[in-house]
Structure 1
Amino acid sequence: MTGVATGASPIPFNTLPIVIGPINYAMGWSFQEISIGIAIYGTLGAILAPAVGALADRVGTKPVAMASLLGFGLAFGLMAFVPDNLMAFYGIWALIGIVGIGSTPVSWSRTINLWFYENRGLALGILLLGTSLAGFVVPQIANAVLEASNWRNVFLALAALPIFVGLPLAYFLFRDPLPEERPLQVASSSGELSGKTLRETLTGYRFWILFISIMCIALAYGGAHIHMVQMVQMHGLAPTTAASVMSVVALGIFSGRIIVGLLFDRFWAPAIAVPVLLLPIVACYLLIGTSTPAPVIFVAGYLLGFAAGAESDMIAYLSSRYFGMKSYGRIYGFLYMPFGIFSSLSATMYGAVRDQTGNYDLVLVWAMALFFVGGMILLLLGRYPVWTPKTEGAAQ
């Protein structure tokens, strides 16, 4: 959980909402130009995710995650020294994406899935609470540093988290289970991990259903998160109140992780995921315009966060249940690609609409349609395959 919290998944996405306005003011770059930076970071990381997942399958999670935490911290700190040059700004974001992907749930969730089966949904939910923890802490640190200093020092302060918190804990306390410690549903009697190969997975329809669902939800949500502070300020709320909305989003993610994770362990996961992923349609409707009262804005933020928590749980949980653990790192990496790429492109899309129209109303309408498609398509997944020590991959 701490590794996820201090890694490259939540920290950039919870930092940019606080500093995007000051960067726009200080550098003169448009909101779209600034958002392209995080699109580059997310796209490069997502493209590398399958390779990083394959490396974790081969050498284990720990060395991959530790090296990435160190690289991410150093690269993120470089943003404090970026010159007044967009290409340099984009170059640092590219470096963050390349070196940071191993510190995301692509690696950490592999180990959790190897340790747990019966309560896997809850275990993954607790793991992914790291993004909620970052959502609570990172905006507050960023806002405090910004008020005391400037946006450059925000990056420097937050770069300390992966290096001085996540890395030592991973070194001393984290490990993969030994073969004899794995649940029977995870490995065969010979010790071989159960499940489908990457080739078998890519030729099946379930993978592409998940891929399309993740793509739609990520494209709808990513930009809403990055531009949340700006959207809230358009409704007349102060910057400190807008930062508090980010904490409410994090609270929604926190509760979504635990509640949805528990329900995944007890019911067919798509039946739980669908209604949860439709909640942001209400949130987007509430965020349209410029005169929504503060309590309603907080409700919208919570609904968006709750669904975001469910989506991350869904990727890790459904990957392991439908495809097994034989090639989990590779498969999860391929499913992380639409999440990383379209979350990042979403920020650019929201920024472009803001620059062209002066508000976010049009893109919020698009997001409502994307949330609907991304949620409903999951009902086509069907029953889970059953992985056993004797018959691997037999659907029952």
Structure 2
Amino acid sequence: MDMVNNAPTAQAGSQEFRRGWGVVLAAMLGIGLGLSPVPFYTIGMLAPELRKAFGWEFSAMMVGLPIMTLGVLIVSPLVGLLADRYGVRRVTLVSIVLFSLSFMSFALNTGSIELFYLNWALMAIFGAGTLPITWTRAVNNRFDLHKGLALGLSLLGTGVFGFLVKPLTAWLIADYGWRAAYVVVGLLPLLISLPVALLAFHDVDGSLTNSADRRAALARRAAAAPGLTLRESLRDYRFWLLAVAFVLISFSVGGLIPNMENILKIAGFARDDIVALVSLIGLSVIVGRIAGGWLIDRLWAPGVALVMISLPAFACYMLADAQLTTSSARVAIVLIGMAAGIEYDLMAFLVARYFGMKSYGAIYGAQYGFFAFGAGIAPVVFGKAFDKTGSYHSVLTLAAVFLVLGAVALLGLGRYRRFDPSSAAQA
């Protein structure tokens, strides 16, 4: 009996992937080579070179991350609205090109810290369309039975390129210099993600070629799609609970990853050992993406988050240990990477399940702004704590507490909402 009942579901799930694999692949490459991971994973390698070239303080360079965060806070809701109105394909294609050019322009700096900060701001504005806000909308629209897994695979790119971009950047710096590293890494979105997106990235309105028809179809689908509007969501306690939870979680994970090299350095690890250890972040992000996506399809997502996001609290205490060993460092980094792996797809999944698809882009954009705020201020707070005390002990303890609080807060979201499916079918 179970086999008979499950056969249609299994068949429908396989049909989802047959129809939507191109969108998943394009999203994986676009997100992995977008604004979210590339500057975040490369700053730790490039900052020491900029310090040698221009004499800038490490904490001063880390100010670029909160500047990018502020830009994302301002622009991401607008990007979501544009994606809702004009379609995600147009927004992402334009943003890939502009993000690539703005990242490469860091190579033109001749020593002006003000120009360095301006470059971060422009990169945030031009590259906001490469954030998961746009890509995950198309994935959410095409998948239902395997929504969590599809989102996990789409966001897998952050782990893949997080694993590859650090050694690539280190090699480029060693052989060709930091300017060449900025140019080559900046070319990757143009050479890899843009061609695939042109061929394979289409939302459910992709068959329409006429702009007026597309806008009309998007308007009809938005009006009929089940879910809440942005204004309705702002009056819902779940919106603010989700925002607070992700500020706490993103602060902790966002402070740990860009400072990991320095955390390991003051613990006494050699340079080659540090490069080998930090590369584990990307691999564990991949594991977190796949495992997290598979689990939230089958289990209550806040419960899954409670386990996967609370465990890195122990990692913080391991890293704060004065007698940190290679084995404990590996365990700590893997736990942190897995938490980083589930963050984005968890946010996309929770927004879709608790607020629906009516204003998904705008709601996700607003939530991503809170997420970016926590991740953006964290590196500076971590750096200031180290500059003041010569240790990360106090801020690691704070991160551990924030991780537990953020994971527990998600439990307050309650059961998934059930929206009227008839309106979506009509759309």
Alignment of 1:1-396 (within 5 A): 1-178=28-205, 192-390=224-422
Q: 1:162: Cα distance to partner?
A: 0.9
2: CA distance between counterparts of 1:377 and 1:266?
21
TM-score, scaled relative to structure 1: 0.94
CA contact (8 A) 1:41 1:344 kept: yes
CA contact (8 A) 1:232 1:242 kept: yes
CA contact (8 A) 2:223 2:358 kept: no
- What amino acid is aligned across from residue 100 of structure 1 in structure 2? G
Q: 1:232: Cα distance to partner?
A: 1.2
Q: 1:191: Cα distance to partner?
A: 8.4
Question: What is the aligned-residue identity percentage?
Answer: 36
1: CA distance between counterparts of 2:226 and 2:296?
20
Residue 215 of structure 2 corresponds to none
Q: 1:280: Cα distance to partner?
A: 1.2
2: CA distance between counterparts of 1:96 and 1:391?
39
CA contact (8 A) 2:288 2:341 kept: yes
SS at match of 1:21: helix
CA contact (8 A) 2:88 2:138 kept: yes
CA contact (8 A) 1:31 1:352 kept: no
1:65-100 per-position Cα deviation (integer Å, ceiling 9, x unaligned): 111110010000011111212111101111111101
Q: 1:109: Cα distance to partner?
A: 0.4
CA contact (8 A) 2:226 2:423 kept: no
- What amino acid is aligned across from residue 336 of structure 2 in structure 1? L
Q: 1:189: Cα distance to partner?
A: 9.9
1:180-225 per-position Cα deviation (integer Å, ceiling 9, x unaligned): 99xxxxx999982211111111100111110000000111111211
Q: 1:47: Cα distance to partner?
A: 2.1
Residue 18 of structure 2 corresponds to none
CA contact (8 A) 1:219 1:343 kept: yes
1: CA distance between counterparts of 2:58 and 2:392?
12
Which region of structure 1 is more displaced relative to structure 2, 118-127 or 77-86? 77-86
Is there any run of 5+ residues in structure 1 with no aligned partner, and where? 182-186
2: CA distance between counterparts of 1:241 and 1:153?
25
2: CA distance between counterparts of 1:39 and 1:189?
36
CA contact (8 A) 1:189 1:390 kept: no
CA contact (8 A) 1:129 1:254 kept: yes
1: CA distance between counterparts of 2:222 and 2:413?
30
CA contact (8 A) 1:189 1:389 kept: no
1:292-333 per-position Cα deviation (integer Å, ceiling 9, x unaligned): 111211111110010111221211000000000000000000
1:330-351 per-position Cα deviation (integer Å, ceiling 9, x unaligned): 0000000111122011011111
1: CA distance between counterparts of 2:73 and 2:353?
22
SS at match of 1:390: helix
Change (3 A) 1:189 1:288: closer
1:154-184 per-position Cα deviation (integer Å, ceiling 9, x unaligned): 1111001111111111111211124999xxx
1: CA distance between counterparts of 2:207 and 2:161?
34
CA contact (8 A) 1:179 1:191 kept: no
CA contact (8 A) 1:120 1:317 kept: yes
SS at match of 1:137: helix
Q: 1:152: Cα distance to partner?
A: 2.3
1: CA distance between counterparts of 2:111 and 2:421?
59
Q: How large is the Cα RMSD of the aligned pairs?
A: 1.9
Residue 16 of structure 2 corresponds to none
SS at match of 2:289: helix
Q: 1:243: Cα distance to partner?
A: 2.1
Q: 1:18: Cα distance to partner?
A: 1.4
Q: Which structure has the bigger radius of gyration?
A: 2
2: CA distance between counterparts of 1:344 and 1:373?
19
CA contact (8 A) 1:124 1:313 kept: yes
SS at match of 1:386: coil
Is there any run of 5+ residues in structure 2 with no aligned partner, and where? 1-27, 209-218
CA contact (8 A) 1:236 1:291 kept: no
Which region of structure 1 is more displaced relative to structure 2, 357-366 or 115-124? 357-366
SS at match of 2:77: helix
- What amino acid is aligned across from residue 327 of structure 1 in structure 2? S
1: CA distance between counterparts of 2:70 and 2:326?
34
Residue 7 of structure 2 corresponds to none
Change (3 A) 1:146 1:240: farther
1: CA distance between counterparts of 2:231 and 2:353?
17
